[in-house]
Amino acid sequence: MGVITVTKLNKSYFSRPILQDISFTLEEGERLASIGENGSGKTTLMRIIAGLETADSGSVNIAQGLVFSYLSQQMEEFTDLNVPVLSAGHLEKIQARLDEISRALAGGSQDEHTSLLREYQTLTERFERSGGYSYLSSLAQALSKLGISGEVLDRPISSLSGGERMRVLLARRVLENADLLLLDEPTNHLDLDGLEWLEEYLQTYKGTVLFISHDRYFIDKTATRTAELQGAKISFYKGGYSAFQEQKNRDVSFRKLTLSRLEQERVRQLEVKQTMLSHRKMSAYHAREKAVARLEDQIADERDKLPQSERRMNFHFIPRGDKRDKSRVLLNLKEAGLSWDGVSYLFSQVDFELKALDKKVLVGPNGCGKSTLLAMIMGTQQNYQGELSLASGIRFGHLGQYAKFEDESKNLLQELQERTMLLEGDARNLLARYGFRENDIYKEIAVLSGGERSRLYLCCLLEEEPDVLFLDEPTNHLDIHSREVLEDAIMDFNGAVLAVSHDRYFIEKCGFGVNGFIGGGVQAYASYASYRHFARLLQPDNRKDTHGEETAGNDVPTVPESAVEVKQNLVKLRKDKRKLTLEIKELEAAIAKAEAELEEAADTLSGTDPAAYQAYAELQSGLEELYEDFFAKSSEAEEITKLLEE
């Protein structure tokens, strides 16, 4: 059943179309992820659906009686910043009205009683739907899982940071039990525990969800369908981000194949046309002329259907020649610790080493000391215990969450040329690799988005050839395109990288070695999955907040209480590995069969028969899905093997 139906929606700002003929239906129980570059219209579309903005034309129809909750990036939902974090103002208003009705029922006429009883029933249902008397307890539990507990619960909203306010608002929204959740970048400001809690919540959520996110791992975990906004148009794909990528690549490949065949046919028709002209067969000549015109129209249509990135020249980063000694130790930290009061330690006894070509990431919950440890190594945090040794003559580069430039009135080309002494042609080519093309290079730095600033800063920084690149949450607030540019640059960088990040897709794609914070210590782990496995095992259970409520629910992993439980975990891992081994063998047989069928189908391709190419494309799609499943299960089996070895 359709929860929301959007029909021919159009919206422009200053004559620039943001949304053009947008139509779709959001089905009950769907979790739709909205993706696209910053400024592509994602938030505008969500605000129109929420009734906070009006479209220029078109309509949004919402199912009758549907209750929705909206989480904005600007947090305008906070109308009173003086109320405490742990409060239920909306329920207090309902309760006050219920008390008024109860008093009114003591007198009045029968007609008045009927009306009051109807209102009482409606309000009671709303009260219970919103959590009722257990709401504060549930809110305390949700906030604890999002990293907010203890005395913070009694503080006013006004005393919280922007990130803390977002987490409070998120907890309130998900507890409203609405039929529809509208979430605008809900993963901003969440640490790993908060991300995993939200993923688990949405996976079991019985309502419908429309969310905007640049977190590709989160999208993979939660979305049942993905919508991409690009060029004021919207396209839909089944599944999460990885499935979207595969389907889009497949669509692009098919369109390129169609385009190539149309262009070949156009060349052939031009040759025939010229032959007809030389033989003075004017009737045939004009017929071929019309055929060429039709082909050119078809070619133009197919080119318009390609993503903008495919219509331009594609650049690839070329790694510089590697002349560095891989075994050279650039920095060495021994027995490091930090205490603000000399008694309790943020972390202690930390040993860390970084060699010339290492790429490592620090992971852990908010407040564990990741950025502080990075600041110690960079020399911006003093008064710590331990010893830090640095190799002589090494050069550092740093990219934080917000890239700063000395003179923001310069344009991109000027900034790059002044910092690198590159010739204009070389500077243009380099900027193109970072996604800046045509007139983009003449933009002033002051008008760039967060993602564009980070891309420009990284472009200039890497040209200065640092030995070590320090990154502090570099993907925060970046759209997916900017994240991919950043990842390509880091993977091709021939130097050491030390990052702080909770972006799991970024961590895995760049192949970072994982150093995780658990219980005030830092240890190297085989992978992010391995770190999270041990973090869950060591997570305290049945913690209580200052309001006496247990903050660990059924979905919070518990600590094994005995060697028996540890043994049970190992038995389960071995059982999972045996099952995966069998499934992998079955997939290998299925892949061999599919490859034979694909090869047989390739022999039947001839001419321009669309049915044959469609059948071939479907076989190829099936094979790709088998390979995807094979690689996923192989990776899972490999990770289990590592856990068993540890």
Mean pLDDT, residues 589-597: 83
CB 219 within 8 Å of CB 226: yes
Task: Report the pLDDT value the prediction gives residue 479, as an integer from 0 to 100.
Answer: 83
pLDDT number for residue 324: 66
**How confident is residue 320, by pLDDT bands cut at 50, 70 and 90?**
low
> Cβ distance 370 to 410 under 8 Å?
no
- Contact criterion met (CB below 8 Å) for 637 and 581: yes
Supply the pLDDT for residue 562: 42
Mean pLDDT in residue range 20-36: 93
| pLDDT confidence of residue 463 | 85
User: With contact defined as beta carbons under 8 Å apart, do 413 and 444 qualify?
Assistant: no
How many CA within 13 A on the CB side of residue 372?
23
362 or 643, greater pLDDT: 362
**Pairwise CA distance, residues 87 & 96, whole Å:** 15
pLDDT band, very low/low/confident/very high, at 237 (cuts 50, 70, 90): very high
Q: What is the pTM of this model?
A: 0.66
Number of H helices, E strands in the chain: 19, 18
Q: What is the mean pLDDT of residues 237-246?
A: 90
pLDDT for the residue numbered 301: 75
Handedness of CA 550, 554, 559, 565 (dihedral sign): positive
Q: Kind and range of the H or E element at 7?
A: strand 2-13
Superfamily for the 2-88+132-236 domain: P-loop containing nucleotide triphosphate hydrolases (3.40.50.300)
Segment 168-172 mean pLDDT = 85
- Compare 637 and 539 and report the one with higher pLDDT: 637
Other CB atoms within a 10 A radius of the CB of residue 413 amount to: 18
Judged by average pLDDT, the poorest of 252-266, 401-415, 460-474 is 252-266
Worst-scoring range by mean pLDDT, 327-336, 361-370, 576-585, 632-641? Answer: 632-641
pLDDT of 311 over the 60 cut: no
pLDDT in the model for residue 609: 63
Angular region, 281: left φ>0, alpha ψ -120 to 50, beta rest: beta
Residue 341 has pLDDT above 90, yes or no: no
Cβ contact 83:157 at 8 Å? yes
Within 8 A by CB and 6+ apart from 553, the residues are 141, 145
Kindly indicate the confidence band of residue 644, based on its pLDDT and cuts at 50, 70 and 90: low
Predicted local distance difference test score (pLDDT) of residue 314: 40
Q: By the 8 A CB rule, do 45 and 26 touch?
A: no
Residue 235 has pLDDT above 60, yes or no: yes
How far apart, in whole angstroms, are the C-alpha atoms of residue 401 and residue 506? 15
Q: Which residue, among 370, 381, 394, 289, has the nearest Cα to 340 in the 3D structure?
A: 381
2-88+132-236 and 330-538: identical CATH topology: yes
Q: What 3-state DSSP class applies to 235?
A: strand
Judged against a pLDDT cut of 50, whether residue 559 lies above it is answered with no
Residue among 64, 51, 52 nearest 1 (CA): 64
- What are residue 61's DSSP bridge partners? 5
Name the residue ranges covered by the structural domains of the chain. 2-88+132-236, 246-305, 330-538, 562-645
pLDDT of 190 > 90? The answer is no
Mean pLDDT of the 417-440 span: 86
Confidence of residue 515 (pLDDT cuts 50, 70, 90): very high
pLDDT given for residue 20 in this prediction: 92
Does pLDDT of 48 surpass 50? yes
CA atoms within 13 A on the CB side of 58: 22
Instruction: Give pLDDT, residue 149.
Output: 81
Q: How far apart are CA 552 and CA 530, in angstroms?
A: 22
Three-state SS for 422? Answer: coil
| Residue showing tokens 């030995």 | 467
* Portion of the chain with pLDDT greater than 70, in percent: 85
Closest CA to 198 of 223, 178, 180, 162: 223
Question: How far apart (Å, rounded) are the C-alpha atoms in residues 332 and 499?
Answer: 16
Asked if 560 and 581 touch (Cβ cutoff 8 Å), the reply is no
Q: Taking 60 as the threshold, does the pLDDT of residue 546 lie above it? A: no
Inform me whether the pLDDT recorded for 554 exceeds 60: no
Q: How confident is the model at residue 209 (pLDDT cuts 50, 70, 90)?
A: very high
Domain 330-538 has CATH 3.40.50.720: no
pLDDT digits (tens, 9 = 90+) for 138-162: 888 888 878 788 888 888 888 877 6
Tokens of residue 98, six digits: 């219920």
Judged by average pLDDT, the poorest of 38-47, 219-228, 412-421, 608-617 is: 608-617
Residue 315 is predicted with a pLDDT of: 40
Among 63-72, 205-214, 469-478, 543-552, the range with the most confident prediction by mean pLDDT is: 205-214
Summarize pLDDT for 91-123 with one digit per residue, the tens: 888 888 888 888 887 776 666 778 888 888 888
